[in-house]
Structure 1
Amino acid sequence: MPLTKERAKQFISSPYAWLVLGLLTLIYISSFVDRQIIAVLAPQIQQELALSNFQVGLLYGTAFSFIYAICGIPMGRLADLYSRKWMIVAGLVVWSLMTFISGFASSLAFLIVARFFVGISESALSPAVYSLLADYFRPEQRATVFSIYASGIFVGVGVAFLGGGSIAQAYNWRTALMSVGLPGLLIAAIAWFVIRELPRGITRGGERYEAITDFREVLSYILQKKTVRYHFLGFSFLAFTGYTILGFIGIVLKDIHNAASLTPQYGWFMMATGLSVIASGKAADWLAGRWEASRRFVMGMVAGLACLPLYYAGLFAESGTTALILIGLANIISSSYNGVAAALLQYLVKPNMRALAGGLYLFVISIVGFGIGPPLTGWLMDTVFTAQYGPAKALMLVFSCCGVLGSLCFWKAMQSYEQDAENA
């Protein structure tokens, strides 16, 4: 049962709150291990099941992302109305079991169905966590706190590359899937006993807010804000870049450099990206305190543009090792925005809308970034850019367009931020 507001206030930004943040980050790590493992194992799965690059992109991206995106909106609404703790734990149990079961797949259809269930269950996680963390910590800490949580993305991806990739090389892709699926069940048991449900909106102090409860009114309230719309579009472009390089780094190393054995080492750069996400969040909070709150969007511009020279040098490198290092460094920059993106939404909506806003955000970035990015880029590789450096040309075209368009969206979002934040 939720705590009373008076008792719950003692937990705000307390050592216990940081413990919960650590546990939620561990759960996020688990979700991304299970989500990313398909891309890590793509070369083995592709060979055994005779899949094209387009089918690999479909399996890794579309099969997961569309159901994840569609379910994220109702899951967000449910998290605004019911127990966020229950949704987090139940989702963790389901996606862990589905990843384990994927190890028995004998066809593309089998894997797609399993990925559907992983997508449904993982869609319950972040909307509930966004809402919960906004109540566990003071507003001025949010970019930092959300960035620590978001760092779990890259620790999880790193574990998938290093752990899952190493298991696959030592045994096979089936054993790797089963091995990364099971630990989530133990984490779920711990989470059930540690996490407490807090009353919504307690970090607002004595300030009251208008509780809009009708779904259509809530949806209209969120989407009518220009800042939110530019936020969704801009970070979708960055997600397009992030999910695409994760989906095809193994293909780049294998097809261009005949260096597929280097793919698991990409995990080290994912671990480092977790640190850049935290640094970006702290920088965003510093910019907001030093100048104005809208300056948090600057970190999105940095992520979209500063990475492009490194991506170019890495994608067209002459050796696999050089390509791995430069692309890895580029990704450390291009993916640093993740915590800032989630935190910014919390300033633009009311407390009983936070989970739905998070669900909408995940819907948009999943459709654009995860669902369209990998298959579209795979299609470019299969049909347009077909020479040795064809994958590099396709990826560089995608990254350049996304970086520029995303930065333009963030500039526009900054223009309307003050008015939209005041009305939240």
Structure 2
Amino acid sequence: MSLTKDRAKQFVSSRYAWAVLGLLTLIYISSFVDRQIIAVLAPSIQRELTLSNFQVGILYGTAFSFIYALCGIPMGRLADIYSRKLMIVAGLIVWSLMTVVSGFATSLSFLMVARFFVGISESALSPAVYSLLSDYFKPHQRATVFSVYAAGIFLGIGIAFLGGGSIARAYDWRTSLMAVGIPGLFIAGVAWFVIRELPRGITQSEDNQRYAVEADFIDVVKYILRKRTVRYHFLGFSFLAFTGYTILGFIGIVLTDIHDAASLVPQYGWFMLATGLSVMASGKAADWLARTYNDSYRFVMGMVAGLACLPLYYAGLFAESAMAALILIGLANVISSSYNGIAAAILQYMVRPNMRALAGGLYLFIISVVGFGIGPPLTGWLMDAVFTGPYGSARALMLVFACCGVLGSICFWKAMQSYEEDAERE
């Protein structure tokens, strides 16, 4: 049950609020470990279940991303109306159980059904968290707070590479799936007793707290999308997601096909852990820019993510040694993926309190479709049909990264021009 507003205000930006942020980040880490672990274990699963490369791709990507993207929007709307705490905890229980159950799979269809349920349950998490954190913290802290939460993406991926892979090598892929799924069930118990449901809009001024939650779904979507800043936001960060998903999907190809260094691929997990730190630093910088100049300057960190990485990507993709390629590409990814927290944070300033979760669901839907659904396949086609030779994959990737960085930065600049007109007054 929600607290009264007078009581809830005691929790805003308190030490308790930061503890809840830490717990929500831990839950996000769990979601990405369970999401990414299939890719880490793919070779072992493929051998035992006799799967083709296409089937592995469907299992890792389509079986998860399609249902995740599709369910994100209705889950966001539900989180704007019903208990965000309940959605977070229930989702955590379901995806953890499905990951454990996956360890008993005897066929591709078994694994795909489990992945569908992982996708559905994980789609409930971030929209609810975005809305909840906007009430737990004051508006000027959001880029920092959301970036701490978003760091869980890369901590989770790094743990999946390093921890899940190590368990699989010591035992087998089934044990690894069970080992990474079980902790989520214990975390869910802690979350149920620790997280409190705050009134929506508690950080708003008294004059701006009267927003009806009964608005029609279509009307709310139209309200969100009619803002130019939101449209440029979605488009710009989709370009950056395009880059992020693509390098994650093809780093193994670069190291294996160009340098014959498959043994180095798991070490990419260390750069994922480092990216978690860059995400937090980017959020802190974005809040500093907002205080020093104006709120629209948070978009500058999106430009940094899109452009500052390009020299490092170029040097890494065309490096002569495998170790140089790993280090330079890894450092480039630390920069190019640093936008994840500010992307979610900026969106919260564009919508009303009863629309925050749905806006988050729309954002996740768009970047999943563009980044995960279009990025790797299009880049793969460029590698197969357009660019050939020893460094063909490097040329294809560099073209994609350069276009996405430039086009994304143009979108952010355009978003800055309309920010004051579109931002909600707090």
**What TM-score results when the alignment is normalised by the length of structure 1?**
0.95
How far apart are the structure 1 equivalents of 2:296 and 2:34? 34
**Equivalent residue number for residue 200 of structure 2:** 200
Which residue, 405, 414, 419 being the options, matches 2:421?
419
**Equivalent residue number for residue 312 of structure 1:** 314
Are the aligned partners of 2:351 and 2:424 in contact in 1 as well (CA < 8 Å)? no
Which residue, 242, 252, 255 being the options, matches 2:257?
255
| Percentage of pairs with the same residue | 81
Of 202-211 and 140-149, more deviation after overlay is shown by: 202-211
How far apart are the structure 2 equivalents of 1:391 and 1:87? 42
1:171 matches 2:202: no
How far apart are the structure 1 equivalents of 2:165 and 2:387? 28
- How far the C-alpha of 1:31 sits from its partner, in A, is 0.5
**Equivalent residue number for residue 147 of structure 1:** 147
1:343/1:186 CA distance change after superposition, 3 Å: same
1:66/1:206 CA distance change after superposition, 3 Å: same
Are the aligned partners of 1:241 and 1:369 in contact in 2 as well (CA < 8 Å)? yes
- How far the C-alpha of 1:109 sits from its partner, in A, is 3.8
1:37/1:379 CA distance change after superposition, 3 Å: farther
Counterpart amino acid of 2:288?
A: W
How far apart are the structure 2 equivalents of 1:104 and 1:390? 40
How far apart are the structure 1 equivalents of 2:45 and 2:404? 29
**Equivalent residue number for residue 130 of structure 1:** 130
1:309/1:47 CA distance change after superposition, 3 Å: farther
List per-residue Cα deviations over 1:130-170 (Å, max 9, x = no partner): 00000000001010000111111111111011101222333
**Equivalent residue number for residue 212 of structure 2:** 211
- How far the C-alpha of 1:261 sits from its partner, in A, is 2.0
Of 44-53 and 340-349, more deviation after overlay is shown by: 44-53
**Equivalent residue number for residue 36 of structure 1:** 36
Number of residue pairs matched by the alignment = 424
- How far the C-alpha of 1:267 sits from its partner, in A, is 1.4
**Equivalent residue number for residue 70 of structure 1:** 70
List per-residue Cα deviations over 1:83-120 (Å, max 9, x = no partner): 00000011011111222222334444443332221111
**Equivalent residue number for residue 19 of structure 1:** 19
List per-residue Cα deviations over 1:337-377 (Å, max 9, x = no partner): 01100000111100000000000000100111112222333
1:105/1:258 CA distance change after superposition, 3 Å: farther
How far apart are the structure 2 equivalents of 1:130 and 1:187? 19
* Secondary structure in structure 1 of the residue aligned to 2:206: coil
List per-residue Cα deviations over 1:288-326 (Å, max 9, x = no partner): 111111111011111011111111221222222222111
In the alignment, structure 1 segments of 5+ residues that lack a partner are none
**Equivalent residue number for residue 356 of structure 2:** 354
In the alignment, structure 2 segments of 5+ residues that lack a partner are none
1:289 matches 2:291: yes
List per-residue Cα deviations over 1:391-415 (Å, max 9, x = no partner): 3233222222211111111111111
1:183/1:385 CA distance change after superposition, 3 Å: farther
Of 109-118 and 321-330, more deviation after overlay is shown by: 109-118
How far apart are the structure 1 equivalents of 2:376 and 2:345? 26
**Equivalent residue number for residue 158 of structure 1:** 158
**Equivalent residue number for residue 181 of structure 2:** 181
- How far the C-alpha of 1:327 sits from its partner, in A, is 1.1
How far apart are the structure 1 equivalents of 2:375 and 2:158? 21
How far apart are the structure 2 equivalents of 1:53 and 1:234? 32
Are the aligned partners of 1:39 and 1:246 in contact in 2 as well (CA < 8 Å)? no
How far apart are the structure 1 equivalents of 2:397 and 2:48? 25
How far apart are the structure 2 equivalents of 1:120 and 1:356? 15
* Secondary structure in structure 1 of the residue aligned to 2:10: helix
**Equivalent residue number for residue 191 of structure 2:** 191
Paired residues for 1:110-125 under 5 Å: 110-125=110-125
Of 296-305 and 314-323, more deviation after overlay is shown by: 314-323
Counterpart amino acid of 2:302?
A: G
**Equivalent residue number for residue 304 of structure 2:** 302
List per-residue Cα deviations over 1:254-304 (Å, max 9, x = no partner): 333222222221111111111111110011111111111111101111101
**Equivalent residue number for residue 101 of structure 2:** 101
How far apart are the structure 2 equivalents of 1:397 and 1:143? 30
**Equivalent residue number for residue 323 of structure 1:** 325
- How far the C-alpha of 1:239 sits from its partner, in A, is 0.8
**Equivalent residue number for residue 91 of structure 2:** 91
Are the aligned partners of 2:211 and 2:354 in contact in 1 as well (CA < 8 Å)? no
How far apart are the structure 1 equivalents of 2:393 and 2:188? 39
Counterpart amino acid of 2:275?
A: T
1:175/1:123 CA distance change after superposition, 3 Å: same
Of 123-132 and 214-223, more deviation after overlay is shown by: 214-223
Are the aligned partners of 1:150 and 1:277 in contact in 2 as well (CA < 8 Å)? yes
Are the aligned partners of 2:352 and 2:424 in contact in 1 as well (CA < 8 Å)? no
- How far the C-alpha of 1:177 sits from its partner, in A, is 2.1
Of 225-234 and 41-50, more deviation after overlay is shown by: 41-50
1:42/1:398 CA distance change after superposition, 3 Å: farther
